[in-house]
Amino acid sequence: MFDRDIWQEIFNTLKKNKLRTFLTGFSVGWAIFILVMLLASVNGMQNGFVGQFNDDATNTIFVRPGTTAKAYAGFEAGRRVQLKNEDLDYIAKSFPKDVEYISARYYANATARYKSETGSYPVQAVHPDHQIIEKTLVIDGRYFNEADVINKAKVAVIGRKVAEDLFKDEDPLGKFVEMNNLPFKVIGIFTDEGDDNAERRVYAPITTYQRIYGNTNNINVIALTYNPTYDLSKALAFSGRLEELMKRRHKISPEDQSGLFVWNYAEAFDDISSFTAVLKAIGIGVGFLILIAGIVGIGNIMVFTIKERTKEIGVRKALGARPRQIINLVLLESIFITALSGFIGLMFAWTVLSLVGPAIETPAFSNPSVSGGTVVTATIILIIAGVLAGLIPAIKASSVKPIVALRDK
Amino acid sequence: MIEIKDLHKSYKMGSNSLHVLKGINFTAEAGELVAIMGSSGSGKSTLLNILGILDGADSGEYTLDGVPIEDLTETKAAQYRNKFLGFVFQSFNLINYKSALENVALPLYYQKVGRKERQEKALNYLDKVGLKEWASHLPSELSGGQKQRVAIARAMAAEPKVLLADEPTGALDSTTSYEVMALIQKINDEGNTILVVTHEEDIAHMCKRIVHLKDGVIVEDKKVKQVRAEQYV
């Protein structure tokens, strides 16, 4: 296979038939180009959709209280449900294997002031785990930790926009910002992939805010992530059990749709995943059909080449070429054209994607690209395609009878 | 060297079959130079194809250098052709995108001779046919006579037991024909067994023995006094 002479022969034939080689190769190169572009587009679409959601970790569940719609267990309908710190502990203790990170959220608003700049921002008082659940990216300083929560420290992690608004060119770290006239030390600045609004927000330890607001132990929302190894059915089963347990704890009818909301990201995410999976399958399907056209094209040309070279093959056989050697020659030529032109198509697609891809950034479509895996798969497909395209012509060539080929009278 | 007993061969032509060889008995010793003559349709090309293991006989025995040639697989046939036989064709059948040297080296390639040794041997044989300077030329840059000499060098390169020449001078003018025949005689003088199929009387008389075929049987088999070709060159 790595015989220098075989390659020399292949190069010779290809060089001799430049136009034919180009036209043949073009069909396969073009097919691979389309296949890769299709896959990249689907990828881009997927990126776009996921981008809409990736504000938060994708294995997130939110528990929100509501107002009961049904009378149950001696309570009348229309009761407001209130979550408390104990609910958080209860969930964490009840599902030690299912819960990965868990945090409460306490919503407040603050008028923040630094020197002469003021602004009004929503405050989320949370636990340290919230950083991971919300995928908050601290770009400077640090997020608060357990110690801050225990000490009810007056520390704040402020959004990038908040920092810009209040501190202008100053470095906010270590400075004190007044929130509703109480000084909070800025310990970190975060950015969020969500949007600008998410960056006009302040995070503070939950305990600090609960104390400020009259030593309450109320919380607004419980956010948690479940075990990331769970697949969809396990995730849904878990959120089902969670909902059941929380409803029982708060004496809400199991049929009550508005007393408590347990919202599982997995559901929405699963819809998108199956949608993009279908798109991907269509992309691969169409790409393959085009590739098949390319393969048939190469096969066609190879058959023609064999016909043209019947005499030469006859001579080779008369000189002692074994059938295997003839098959090898034709197959290698076919594989070579297919692989090379496919590779050029691949590289072309890759270049286009790396030039244009990052520039595309719309909500539904972002950074179309292909993975290394796709490239490897495509290369393997190409080699198989080359074999398939060359197989019939090769067998045909090897069965050429020298006597027929040499009949020159 | 060559021994044929009661060889039959027929071709199917649609519904009726054409009996081409009707019981050929023939032997050739090592070092012979035999001309096989006959008009077209006499079966001389069919005989040569069978001798060259390019075609199989329907019945009869064929022994080549003590090896019985029968029921060969394609691969085995290829090996035997490569080992025992050298071919020279009327239309030269050089591979047109390979240089003279590469053409001569081709049978050695199929003998799995290493690249360097192959080149040396091929050049040596090109030198023998007087075309060393033309080694890197393509067949299209050679004259008819030169092409045939390259073809002979190619046939000899594998050091075959028997050289089979099918109308080697059929496509050449008389002067070049004699040049080629002089070369064939020279190779024969070195002890090689050569069979030449021809329908030209003067070419046949440059061999040592003439076998006449007519309608699938040998009608005449005689030794002749060899006419040396050099005198006409």
Residue type, A344: I
Per-residue model confidence (pLDDT) at position B136: 92
Contacts of B75 in chain A (CB under 8 A): 322-324
Stretch A353-377: mean pLDDT, rounded? 73
Q: Is the pLDDT of residue A215 over 70?
A: yes
Bigger pLDDT: A307 or A224?
Answer: A224
Q: Is B76 on the interface with A (CB under 8 A)?
A: no
B157 CB-near residues (< 8 Å, 6+ apart): B86, B104, B105, B107, B108, B121, B122, B125
Contacts of A325 in chain B (CB under 8 A): 110
Asked if B154 and A317 come within 8 Å (Cβ–Cβ), the reply is: no
Per-residue model confidence (pLDDT) at position A409: 43
Q: How far is CA B37 from CA A40, A128, B32, B215, B226, in A?
A: 71, 104, 16, 12, 16
Q: How far is CA B5 from CA A174, B22, B62, B194, in A?
A: 111, 11, 7, 19
Q: Is the pLDDT of residue A114 over 80?
A: yes
The predicted-structure confidence for A259-286, as pLDDT tens digits, reads as follows 899 988 777 777 777 887 888 888 888 8
pTM beyond 0.80 = no
Contacts of A5 in chain B (CB under 8 A): 109, 115
Q: Is B39 on the interface with A (CB under 8 A)?
A: no
Per-residue model confidence (pLDDT) at position B197: 92
Residue type, B17: S
Q: Is B71 on the interface with A (CB under 8 A)?
A: no
Stretch A63-70: mean pLDDT, rounded? 91
Query: In the predicted model, what is the mean pLDDT of chain A?
Result: 85
β-pair partners for A189: A140, A158
Residue type, A332: L
Q: Is the pLDDT of residue B174 over 60?
A: yes
Asked if A322 and B74 come within 8 Å (Cβ–Cβ), the reply is: yes
First-last CA distance in chain B: 31
Query: In the predicted model, what is the mean pLDDT of chain B?
Result: 90
Domain boundaries, chain B: 2-94+160-232
Torsion of CA A124, A126, A129, A133, to 10 degrees: -30
Distance of CA A205 to the CA centre of its chain: 32
B211 CB-near residues (< 8 Å, 6+ apart): B26, B34, B35, B36, B37, B218, B220, B221
Contacts of B98 in chain A (CB under 8 A): 12
The CATH superfamily label for domain B2-94+160-232 reads P-loop containing nucleotide triphosphate hydrolases (3.40.50.300)
Asked if B75 and A323 come within 8 Å (Cβ–Cβ), the reply is: yes
Distance, CA of B8 to CA of B217 (rounded, Å): 10
Q: Is the pLDDT of residue A173 over 70?
A: yes
Q: Hunting for tokens 């024969």 — which residue is that?
A: B188
ipTM: 0.89
Triad B63, A403, B188: Cα angle to 5°: 55
What does the block give as tokens for B214?
Answer: 């007519």
Asked if B78 and A317 come within 8 Å (Cβ–Cβ), the reply is: yes
Three-class SS state of B5: strand
Those of residues 88-117 in B touching chain A at CB distance below 8 A are: 89-91, 93, 95, 97-98, 106-107, 109-111, 115
Stretch A311-331: mean pLDDT, rounded? 87
Q: Is the pLDDT of residue A375 over 80?
A: no
β-pair partners for A177: A184
For the stretch A277-289, what's the b/e string if a residue is b when 16 or more beta carbons lie within 10 angstroms of its beta carbon? Answer: eebbeebbeebee
Stretch A110-127: mean pLDDT, rounded? 92
Chain A contact probe: residue of B11, B47, B97 with most A CBs at under 10 A: B97
Per-residue model confidence (pLDDT) at position A320: 87
Q: Is the pLDDT of residue A388 over 80?
A: yes
What does the block give as tokens for A363?
Answer: 């909500």
Q: Give kind and range of the element (H or E) at residue B28.
A: strand B16-28
Distance, CA of A299 to CA of B84 (rounded, Å): 36
Stretch A332-338: mean pLDDT, rounded? 85
Contacts of A312 in chain B (CB under 8 A): 95
B133 CB-near residues (< 8 Å, 6+ apart): none
Q: Report percent pLDDT > 70 for chain B.
A: 100
Per-residue model confidence (pLDDT) at position B211: 94
Q: Hunting for tokens 């590739």 — which residue is that?
A: A291
What does the block give as tokens for B142?
Answer: 């050679």
Per-residue model confidence (pLDDT) at position A2: 57
Q: Which pLDDT band holds residue A52 (cuts at 50, 70, 90)?
A: low
Stretch B98-104: mean pLDDT, rounded? 91
Contacts of A16 in chain B (CB under 8 A): 97
Q: Hunting for tokens 């080359």 — which residue is that?
A: A386
Q: Give kind and range of the element (H or E) at residue B24.
A: strand B16-28
Over chain A, what HEC string results? CCCHHHHHHHHHHHHHCHHHHHHHHHHHHHHHHHHHHHHHHHHHHHHHHHHHHCCCCCCEEEEEECECCCCECCECCCCECCEEHHHHHHHHHHCCCCEEEEEEEEEEEEEEEECCEEEEEEEEEECCCHHHHCCCEEEEECCCCHHHHHCCCCEEEEEHHHHHHHHCCCCCCCCEEEECCEEEEEEEEEECCCCHHHHCCEEEEHHHHHHHCCCCCEECEEEEEECCCCCHHHHHHHHHHHHHHHHHHCCCCCCCCCCEEEEEHHHHHHHHHHHHHHHHHHHHHHHHHHHHHHHHHHHHHHHHHHHHCHHHHHHHHHCCCCHHHHHHHHHHHHHHHHHHHHHHHHHHHHHHHHHHHHHCEECCEECCCCCHHHHHHHHHHHHHHHHHHHHHHHHHHHCCCHHHHHCCC
The predicted-structure confidence for B189-198, as pLDDT tens digits, reads as follows 999 999 999 9
Residue pair A313/A372 in contact (Cβ under 8 Å)? The answer is no
Window from A175-184, A240-249, A291-300, A356-365 with minimum mean pLDDT: A356-365
Asked if B97 and A406 come within 8 Å (Cβ–Cβ), the reply is: no
